[in-house]
Amino acid sequence: MLELTVNLDERSYPIYIGPGIFEAGVNLLDYIKTRRPVVVTNETVAPLYLDLLLNKLAPCEPLHIVLPDGEQYKTLEYFEKVSAFLLENNCGRDTCLIALGGGVIGDLTGFVAACYQRGVPFIQIPTTLLSQVDSSVGGKTAVNHPLGKNMIGAFYQPDLVLIDTNSLITLPEREFAAGMAEVIKYGLIYDTELFAYLEQHVEQIKDQSTEHLQHIIFRCCQIKALIVAEDETEQGQRALLNLGHTFGHAIEAQMGYGNWLHGEAVAAGMVMASKLSYQRGKLSNVELQRIINLLIAYDLPTLFPQEMGLDVFVKHMKKDKKNKLGTIRFILPKNFGQCELVSDVTEAELEDLISSNAG
């Protein structure tokens, strides 16, 4: 089992990573200071892990709520459903919420925890690769709105993140690939050795070798923990974690949440950001091709939907959370391991990019 800490002074918390630790290795009861923790999960994950978790929590008389599975359910409607469940069961401020599932469950549960009675403890048990390497760490919680992804939320840190790599065995191949988009992102924005590792071990990672999975998950969490400790509420460096997301969120919003998985949209968005950087003379053609080739190797899309034109992208990107004073700001790679936030991208540049990239 590997362990690291997100250092936020009195709000610091541990991350545990390893195979089988969901069943044994970490005593969840040590992190729960309530008589009735509440597990929030979905219809896909519940048959696999809910009974096991409830048995571990049995001394605390746990409650649970099972939601539909999918990005389209990360909404205020389901925020209200979970909140109502807590109220109906007379849950107090000492209630601990436990998010058992992927990024949707983690984001939604965390946002409920941030708001219910002005804040209750919560624990993340992520079961998808994307949530294990990214969304479960750092305290970003939110729900989607029809006009924009993750537009209603809060920064609210968990008390514990428990990552069992064995949970990935049941993950569909498409979901696993979507998670690899975020892993590749970390290599591109921060760690050239990680990027090279991903190039060198494609088959072992796709075959879910425990050693290789632990390595990439630990490194991604380590990078994110360092960045979050420096910039918890995304006032500066943390914004670089959004490489590919400005374009990717536009794809998700336009195509309908869930039709393109988040990681798929981020993959296409990373290619767009990288091509824009290439157009500006920052990335070389060799570097651009390495990025594209690695995404292809992990079965990820490198082209955005053909029906999306400049007007569609701009409409959605105007709502991006990085914008300031009405100016759309982009995260662009300067080279492997380094990105920059720019605000001077012209409409002509975007037109050239979109006309050359549609598929």
The one catalytic residue among 175, 182, 264, 287:
182
Sign of CA dihedral 204, 173, 69, 259: positive
Contact 330, 273 (CB under 8 A): yes
Strand partners, 99: 40, 124
> Is 2-170 CATH 3.40.50.1970?
yes
Would you kindly state where each structural domain of the chain is located, as residue ranges?
2-170, 178-357
How far apart, in Å, are the Cα atoms of 294 and each of 114, 199, 338?
Answer: 37, 6, 17
What residues contact residue 195 under an 8 Å CB cut-off, 6+ apart?
A: 184, 187, 188, 290, 294, 336, 337
Question: For 31-72, what is each residue's pLDDT tens digit?
Answer: 888 778 999 999 999 999 999 999 999 999 999 999 999 999
Quick one: which of 178, 162, 167, 171 has its CA closest to 295?
Answer: 178
Average pLDDT, the chain: 93
Determine the pLDDT at residue 321: 83
Q: Which fold has domain 178-357?
A: Dehydroquinate synthase-like, alpha domain (1.20.1090)
How far apart, in Å, are the Cα atoms of 36 and each of 33, 62, 285?
Answer: 9, 5, 56
The one catalytic residue among 42, 64, 140, 150:
140
Q: Which residues are annotated as a binding site for NAD(+)?
A: 69-74, 103-107, 127-128, 140, 149
The one catalytic residue among 245, 290, 316, 329:
245
CATH topology match: 2-170 vs 178-357? no
Contact 334, 282 (CB under 8 A): yes
Strand partners, 213: none
Question: For 266-278, what is each residue's pLDDT tens digit?
Answer: 999 999 999 999 9
Q: Which residues are annotated as a binding site?
A: 69-74, 103-107, 127-128, 140, 149, 182, 245, 262
Question: What is the token pair recorded at 167?
Answer: 């949970």
Determine the pLDDT at residue 336: 80
